[in-house]
A and B are shown apart, each in its own frame.
Chain A
């Protein structure tokens, strides 16, 4: 236990040191006069701009728009992915029908369909939501299908010997057996969909962090571009770490292998 704690502390310390070195490097480069401040504002300027944008409510508004899209899109694709995975395992014929179209769709990057989505849904939340769903659906669906297909023969036999009806079988055996795969899929899906959402907001949106960055670039406000980019990185990091910590805490007792 103590050894883990020391390792963790050392890791955190080294990570913070690396961030500090990047910050110092950035400050030195921006102060050296080698690069124009319009292209590379000083860290202090970016911080001040960020505080101003937060106080005026502009930053919070764009963060809220992006978070709302990611939450809604992620919830919808999670439900759809789990449901379809369960159905394809239960009905093999459905799996046969869907295998080819899904394999084709999976190879198309979500951003490649953005022009089509703009035509169909316009420049608004509908398009962003669709992008998040397209980006996160496949990791969730594929990992859940893989997980559901890994229910052990021993557990299937147990269910048969107990004459377990379909619903308790799903909730008590199939879903927990698939959980390690599902958690991995959700984690992957989150990072894919976060990146895809920001990409879509750069192309076609009237709000959100991607839009904020694009808009600031058009106004030649490099400091605001930096605020937007840093927010994207920090928020994505916090959300992913929160997801990992949350699942770890939630599953610690019953699924120690996932929590580890």
Chain B
């Protein structure tokens, strides 16, 4: 049984704007994250979600405004596992330890993502898509981050594996008390995981949903968000 926790808010972005080639992508954005919870960012492809996420992680400087998170406290999981194909699983994980192998820490991280020690000498091409993404998550966890930032990490994974990984991730985030920003274009995934859900459109964010102790109908929330998105497109 899942118990509800009310999350305090951590300001992450303040007045952030970003343009590419004179085309504004983000306009004067502010974002706060649910502390030790999952903040989901939902929006159609190409709406600037990944740009916002990279600015939050300190990988991209904003044109104006500021990032309030320390980049050293952030770890990132990308859409594709982004494992180096010439390194074994153990070596890929060692990168998070700045190139130093620490077998005990690595095995512990693999255990967290429900992988056994038998794969440490595998190369990424010898792993399934789901296993590779688990290794990508383990690598991020090895940095012992305060903030975990995920860019549509399950988008390229089959539906059955995706369901398993979503549950695993949600349990991990809560157990490890990590503040998480999760970007997705899948409304069902967002509703399943989010403690707070923002929708992004026209370079702006709107808060659409905050998980509360009160029971809620996912179908109603979904309908409301879809209607909002469709009205906007129209």
Contact = CB atoms under 8 A, between A and B. Distances in A.
A154 B82 contact: yes
Given A253-B123, A254-B123, A173 B99 contact: no
Interface in B134-192: 139, 143
Given A253-B123, A254-B86, A162 B95 contact: yes
B72 interface: yes
A164 B59 contact: no
Contact of B91 (A161, A172, A253): A172
Interface of B is mostly: loop
Interface of A is mostly: helix
A168 B59 contact: no
B72 A164 contact: no
Contacts of A165: 98-99
Contacts of A171: 99
Interface string A165-193: 10110011100100100000000000000
Contacts of A83: none
B98 A176 contact: no
A257 to B, nearest CB: 9
B76 interface: yes
A254 B83 CA distance: 13
B86 A255 contact: yes
Given A168-B98, A254-B123, A160 B59 contact: yes
Interface string A133-158: 00000000000000000000011011
B78 A162 contact: no
B34 interface: no
Interface string B70-108: 011011101010101111000100011011000000000
Contact of B143 (A162, A168, A254): A162
B84 A176 contact: yes
Contacts of B74: 161
Contacts of B143: 162
Nearest to B96: A162
Nearest to A155: B84
B113 interface: no
Contacts of B78: 154, 157-158
Interface of B: 54, 57, 59, 71-72, 74-76, 78, 80, 82, 84-87, 91, 95-96, 98-99, 123, 139, 143
Given A157-B54, A160-B59, A161-B57, 10 more contacts: A154-B80, A157-B59, A158-B82, A162-B98, A162-B143, A163-B98, A172-B99, A253-B123, A254-B85, A254-B86
Interface of A: 154-155, 157-158, 160-165, 167-168, 171-173, 176, 179, 253-255
4 closest cross-chain pairs (CB), A and B: A168-B99, A161-B76, A254-B86, A176-B86
